[in-house]
A and B are shown apart, each in its own frame.
Chain A
């Protein structure tokens, strides 16, 4: 079932009402909860960007963590070495992530696909981690980089409530932009490649370039998320961008729903909040985490988003705009 015209209008209203309502969050919660909420926003972007490549473009890829690290380091280096204000480094981190997306997927232009492309993206991620450790003069090596304390219009950027407002704006803008993409001929060409690349080319669509474009946008979104992460923890070091992060973001995509924008929020929220509850079971956290992820995927193979789609067609995505 597709949403009706009135449901589509309601959906647009909801898209802007939810973030507006969220503006009240800092007034209602304590600093611990605020920190978790901020994490959810960052991981929502990470998942959105990762999902764009594996869910919408349909390419197996492991460079997501690399884009995240590139964004975080871009922000950290630009603030510490170049002295730029952190806010100005967000688009910079996005562009750095986008360049990472191009580098990781450039082999697609030579006809490399699927498993082979996946291996290249995995190697790219490990190469970046090697760089963080060994390019000591810029990255600080294994010690990492600490971000300087900053204020914006008199508000301290070390305050999680202030960070929240910045994170929220960035998150909403990037979600809106991604939806714009998916509901256009660009987005349809990306999903067409996932569905049947041979047939896509027969329609005059340059499929290799479509794949690289998908990676570039993914890199931009995740690069921006990395920039937020740098401020969020105010400390950037190589260990944050390893295999664990990759596996968790993979789980977020799958739990939320492959190829679903709404799923990106749900998956990120569920798997960011869950570990906080599991903290009361020391030593068993990873076990419970794994079991819960498996249980969700057994019951809902299409992820949490499919549950909402069953409730109302308002949550069914349409890939065109009239």
Chain B
């Protein structure tokens, strides 16, 4: 299978400390790769290095064979790697629909002058994007909330809107940083179902940070285990369950 995303020897040094050291991974279309590890293992740093929020000191991030390591976040997003944030990245004062529309920004036609003068080119594209955003929301049964302010939604609804906004532009790669944290068990199952649908139906390659190990064991195709900034194991859920290094990292030396 062709890999969408190839990360090779990625490292991040902060003031002489290795926050991330020599991490490599491959992601294929439709694959869900979960990243697990104790707090401080470097999972979010890995995400930040891939998505351009932290400049990697070593290594490559290849997207369909093209190295994007060191590019700025918006450039990497335009290349097709989109991410969500652990603490939530919605725009609270904007409505649900407006939030989803910002996810379609790069697709929206009409330059500054077209918009300013209300030219047809801009208006037609705007209408098209609104229809697209509404359709995406209705797929998640959220069309009735389109005109609600994001700040007025429940935590679970906010996470779903953030994911809708992130996938609105049909990115080939999605980085989800703890999408199920703080959700009720019911909402968590719903979230995992959404993630599976995106991978299965749209062929999105998904990198997923998740703390709930049972969720990951049931839902991921492969698991990457990290500790102290390094990769300590990678394999199928079954392989990881039986890996000695993983047991040691989680439970201490036996």
Contact B122 A184 (CB under 8 A): yes
Task: Given A181-B115, A185-B101, A198-B85, check contact A192 B77 (CB 8 Å).
Answer: no
Interfacial residues of chain A within 156-194, with CB under 8 A of chain B in the complex: 177, 180-181, 184-189, 191-192, 194
Beyond A204-B105, A321-B123, is A184–B89 a contact (Cβ under 8 Å)? no
Chain A residue with the shortest CB-CB distance to B175:
A202
Given A180-B115, A184-B122, A185-B101, decide whether A203 and B77 contact each other with a Cβ distance below 8 A: yes
Are B83 and A202 touching (Cβ within 8 A)?
yes
- Shortest beta-carbon distance from B95 to chain A in Å: 8
Check if B51 is an interface residue, CB within 8 A of chain A. Answer: yes
Return chain B residues, CB-CB under 8 Å to A30: none
Q: Which residues of B contact A191 (CB under 8 A)?
A: 91, 93-94
A188 to B69 Cα, complex, angstroms: 28
Contact A192 B102 (CB under 8 A): yes
A188 touching B93, Cβ below 8 Å? no
In chain B, what residue has the closest Cβ to A206? B74
Please judge, given known A-B contacts A198-B85, A321-B126, A322-B130, whether A188 and B94 are in contact too, CB under 8 Å: yes
Assuming the contacts A180-B118, A185-B126, A321-B126, asked whether A202 and B102 have C-beta atoms less than 8 A apart, the reply is: no
Residues in B whose Cβ lies below 8 Å from that of A88: none
Q: Is A201 interfacial (CB 8 A cutoff)?
A: yes
Chain A residues near B101 (CB, 8 Å)?
185, 188, 320
Judging by beta carbons under 8 Å apart, are B78 and A204 in contact? yes
Partner of A319, one of B74, B78, B94, B116: B94
Closest to B52 in A: A201
User: Using Cβ atoms and an 8 Å threshold, which residues of chain A touch B103?
Assistant: 203
Q: Which residues of B contact A201 (CB under 8 A)?
A: 72-74, 77
A195 within 8 A of B: yes
A200 at the interface (CB under 8 A from B): yes
From A203, A206, A318, A321, contact of B102 by CB (8 A)? A203
Which among B94, B104, B166 is the interface contact of A195 at CB below 8 angstroms?
B94
Q: Are B72 and A185 in touch, CB under 8 angstroms?
A: no
Between A196, A206, A320, the greatest number of chain B beta carbons within 10 A of the residue's beta carbon is seen for A320
Q: Tally chain B residues at the interface, Cβ within 8 Å.
A: 43
B-contact 0/1 string along A308-322, CB 8 Å cutoff: 000000000011111
Within 8 A of B (CB), among A57-95: none
B105 touches A202 (CB 8 A): no
- CB of B106 within 8 Å of the partner chain: yes
In the assembly, what is the distance between CA of A321 and CA of B147, in Å?
Answer: 13
Q: Which of A177, A200, A320, A322 contacts B98 (CB 8 A)?
A: A320
Inter-chain contacts of B106 with A (CB < 8 A): 203-205
The answer to whether B92 has its CB under 8 Å from any CB of chain A is yes
Q: A189-B105, A202-B82, A203-B82 are in contact. Are A180 and B74 (CB under 8 A)?
A: no
**Binary contact readout B39-72 vs A (1 if CB under 8 angstroms, 0 otherwise):** 0000000000001010000000000000000001
Whether the pair A192, B85 counts as a contact (CB closer than 8 A) is: no
- Whether A199 and B90, one on each chain, are in contact in the complex, defined by CB atoms closer than 8 angstroms, is yes
Which of A207, A318, A322 meets B74, CB within 8 Å?
A207
CB <8 Å contact, A320 and B78? no
- CB <8 Å contact, B126 and A184: yes
Inter-chain contact B110/A195, CB cutoff 8 Å? no
Question: Within the complex, what minimum Cβ distance (angstroms) separates A160 from chain B?
Answer: 30
Tell me the complex Cα distance, A178–B21, Å: 49
Q: Chain B contacts of A200 at CB under 8 A? A: 91, 102
Please indicate the chain A residues that have their CB under 8 angstroms from the CB of B53 in the complex.
198
**A2-B147 in contact (CB<8A):** yes
The distance in angstroms between the C-alpha atoms of A2 and B98, with both chains bound, is: 13
Bound Cα distance A198, B74 (Å): 10
Residues of A within 8 A of B83 (CB): 202
Find out whether the CB atom of B108 lies under 8 angstroms from the CB atom of A185: yes
For residue A2, which residue of chain B has the nearest CB?
B147
Smallest Cβ-Cβ distance to B148: which chain A residue: A2
B167 to chain A: closest CB distance in Å? 11
Contact residues, B16-30 vs A (CB, 8 A):
none
Give the one of A185, A196, A213 with max B CB within 10 A: A185
Of A195, A201, A203, A321, most B-chain CB atoms within 10 Å: A203
Q: Which residues of B contact A188 (CB under 8 A)?
A: 94, 98, 101-102, 105
Against B, the Cβ 8 Å flags (1 = close, 0 = not) of A267-307 are 00000000000000000000000000000000000000000
Q: A192-B94, A195-B94, A320-B126 are in contact. Are A205 and B105 (CB under 8 A)?
A: yes
Question: For the complex, what is the distance from the CA of A279 to the CA of B89, rounded to whole Å?
Answer: 50
Once the chains bind, are A184 and B115 in contact (CB under 8 Å)?
yes
In the assembly, what is the distance between CA of A244 and CA of B208, in Å? 54
CA separation between A78 and B145, bound complex, in Å?
A: 53
Mark B residues whose CB is within 8 Å of A. 51, 53, 72-74, 77-78, 82-85, 89-95, 97-98, 101-106, 108, 110, 112, 115-118, 122-123, 126-127, 129-130, 147, 165-166, 169
* 8 cross-chain CB contacts under 8 A: A180-B118, A181-B116, A188-B94, A199-B91, A201-B72, A201-B74, A206-B72, A207-B74
The 9 A-B pairs at the shortest CB distance, nearest first, are namely A199-B89, A195-B91, A204-B77, A201-B73, A185-B108, A184-B115, A2-B147, A204-B78, A204-B106
